[in-house]
C-alpha cells in the first residue's frame, strides 16, 4: 500500500526535470493567443507541456484524475474529487515566457480525498533550474537542500511578494494598487512581483521573502507552492483570514501567523468567480 504517495512524487519530479522543452522553446518563435483578457496569454508551449505531462502520468497511473490550466481553458470543469488528482500548470508565468522575462515554472500538485494540505507539490523554476518540492510531514526542499521560511513576525521588516494579475477592470486594478499602497505605507521593507505566482510563493519558503498574497490567481498556480510554504514552516490562509481554500482565488502565504493576520487586515479582495463554480 502506497500511503504516502512517495512513488508518485518521485515520478512527478523526474517527469518535471525531463521536460526540457520549456527551456528549448524559450528561444523559439512563439504563437501567442489571448484567453480571458488582453493580458491573459497562452502559447503552443503551454498546451504542449500540459499534454506531455498528462499523457506521461496517465500512462503510469491510468485511474488518476487531472485539473490542468489549459484543459480547463478548453472547457473542462474544475472538480476536486476524492480520487488521486494531479493539478497542473504547464507554464506559470506565460507572459514572462512570451517576453523572455526569466521566471517561468511548471507547477504540479497532487491531492487525494480533497485534502486541504495535499500529499505533495512540485514547482520547477525552469530558467533558474531550481526544483522546489515538499511532501506532507517531510519538509520542503530546493535542489535537495531543506527550506525554511524566515519566521519573521514583524510586518514592518517584511519583503512582501504579490502579483499585478491579469485582470484589467477598474475594480480589480484599484483594489490591487491600493493594497500595495497600504502595505508600503505601514511601511514594509519592499513589495516585489516576479510574474509567476508559483515562484513568488516559493520565495516565502526560502526565506527570501516573508510573505506573499494574491487575489485572482487559480488553483493550479498555487496548489503546489502552498504545500512547499507550509512544509518550510510558513502558514497559508485566505485573504479574509479564513482557512486556505485553493479554489477561492485568494491566498496569503507568510513566514508567521502574525504576519499573515496583519496582511489580511490590511488588504481587500475584489470579487472573483471560484475555480470550482460551474
Ligand atoms: C499567471 C501567473 C501570474 C498571475 C496570474 C496567473 P499563468 O499564471 O501566475 O503571476 O498574476 O494571476 O494567472 O497564466 O502564467 O499560468
Give the model confidence (pLDDT) of 20-71 as tens digits. 665 565 545 566 777 777 777 777 888 888 998 999 999 999 999 999 988 8
pLDDT tens, position by position, 91-120: 999 999 888 898 999 999 999 988 877 899
Which secondary structure element, helix H or strand E, spans residue 87, and what is its range? strand 85-92
Percent of the chain with pLDDT over 70: 94
Is 69 labelled as part of a ligand binding site? yes
Q: Alpha-carbon distance 11 to 17, whole Å?
A: 10
Domain positions in the chain are 6-146, 155-266
Backbone phi and psi for residue 263, each to the nearest 5 degrees, phi listed first:
-65, -40
The DSSP element (H or E) to which 131 belongs, if any, is strand 130-135
**Cβ(113)–Cβ(69) under 8 Å?**
no
d(CA 20, CA 119): 25
State residue 23's pLDDT score: 59
pLDDT for 229-268, tens place per residue?
999 999 999 999 999 999 999 999 999 999 999 999 999 9
CA distance linking residue 247 with residue 273, whole number of Å: 9
Looking at residue 77, its pLDDT comes to 85
Determine if ligand 1 sits within 6 Å of the CB of residue 264.
no
Question: From the CA of 218, how far away is ligand 1's center (Å)?
Answer: 8
Residue 72 beta carbon below 6 angstroms from any ligand 1 atom: no
Q: Which protein residue has the closest C-alpha to ligand 1 atom 12? A: 217
| CATH fourth-level superfamily of 6-146 | Fructose-1,6-Bisphosphatase, subunit A, domain 1 (3.30.540.10)
| Average pLDDT rounded to a whole number, residues 201-213 | 98
**Pairing verdict, β 85-92 and 105-111:** antiparallel
User: Tell me, what's the pLDDT at 47?
Assistant: 86
Active site residues: 69, 89, 91-92, 94, 221
> Residue with the nearest Cα to atom 15 of ligand 1?
93
Identify the H or E element spanning 256. Answer: none
Distance CA 102, CA 93 (A): 9
Give the closest residue (by CA) to ligand 1 atom 6: 217
Residue labelled with grid coordinates 508600503? 184
Alpha carbons 212 and 160: distance in angstroms, whole number:
6
Confidence of residue 18 (pLDDT cuts 50, 70, 90): confident
CA neighbours closer than 13 Å in the CB half-sphere of residue 109 = 30
CA distance 22 to 166: 22
Write down the ipTM of this complex. 0.93
| First vs last C-alpha separation in the chain | 35
Report d(CA 214, CA 195) in Å as an integer: 11
Examine the pLDDT at 1 and tell me if it is beyond 50. Answer: no
Return the CATH fold of 155-266: D-Maltodextrin-Binding Protein; domain 2 (3.40.190)
**Inter-CA distances, 180 with 124, 243, 252, Å:** 28, 23, 14
Rounded to whole angstroms, how far apart are CA atoms 135 and 155? 28
* Same CATH fold assignment for domains 6-146 and 155-266: no
Amino acid at each position: 500500500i502506497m500511503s504516502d504517495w512517495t512513488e508518485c512524487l518521485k515520478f512527478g519530479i523526474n517527469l518535471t526535470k525531463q521536460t526540457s522543452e520549456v527551456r528549448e522553446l524559450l528561444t523559439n518563435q512563439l504563437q501567442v493567443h489571448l484567453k480571458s483578457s488582453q493580458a491573459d496569454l497562452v502559447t503552443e508551449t503551454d498546451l504542449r507541456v500540459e499534454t506531455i505531462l498528462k499523457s506521461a502520468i496517465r500512462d503510469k497511473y491510468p485511474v488518476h484524475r487531472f485539473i490542468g490550466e489549459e484543459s480547463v481553458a478548453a472547457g473542462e470543469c474544475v472538480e476536486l474529487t476524492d480520487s488521486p488528482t494531479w493539478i497542473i500548470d504547464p507554464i506559470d508565468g506565460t507572459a514572462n515566457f512570451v517576453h523572455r522575462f526569466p521566471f517561468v515554472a511548471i507547477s504540479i500538485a497532487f491531492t487525494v480525498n480533497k485534502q486541504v494540505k495535499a500529499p505533495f507539490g512540485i514547482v520547477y523554476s525552469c530558467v533558474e533550474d531550481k526544483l522546489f518540492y515538499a511532501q506532507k510531514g517531510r519538509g520542503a526542499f530546493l535542489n535537495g537542500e531543506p527550506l525554511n521560511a524566515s519566521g519573521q513576525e514583524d510586518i514592518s521588516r517584511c519583503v512582501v511578494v504579490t502579483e499585478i494579475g491579469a485582470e484589467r477592470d477598474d475594480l480589480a486594478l484599484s483594489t490591487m494598487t491600493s493594497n500595495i499602497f497600504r502595505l508600503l505605507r505601514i511601511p514594509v521593507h519592499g513589495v516585489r512581483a516576479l510574474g509567476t505566482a508559483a515562484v513568488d510563493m516559493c520565495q516565502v519558503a526560502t526565506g527570501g521573502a516573508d510573505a506573499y498574497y494574491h487575489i485572482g490567481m487559480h488553483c493550479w498556480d498555487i496548489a503546489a507552492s502552498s504545500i512547499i510554504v507550509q512544509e518550510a514552516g510558513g502558514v497559508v490562509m485566505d485573504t479574509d483570514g479564513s482557512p486556505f481554500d485553493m479554489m477561492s482565488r485568494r491566498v496569503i502565504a507568510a513566514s508567521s501567523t502574525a504576519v499573515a493576520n496583519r496582511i489580511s487586515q490590511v488588504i481587500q479582495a475584489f470579487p472573483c468567480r471560484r475555480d470550482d463554480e460551474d
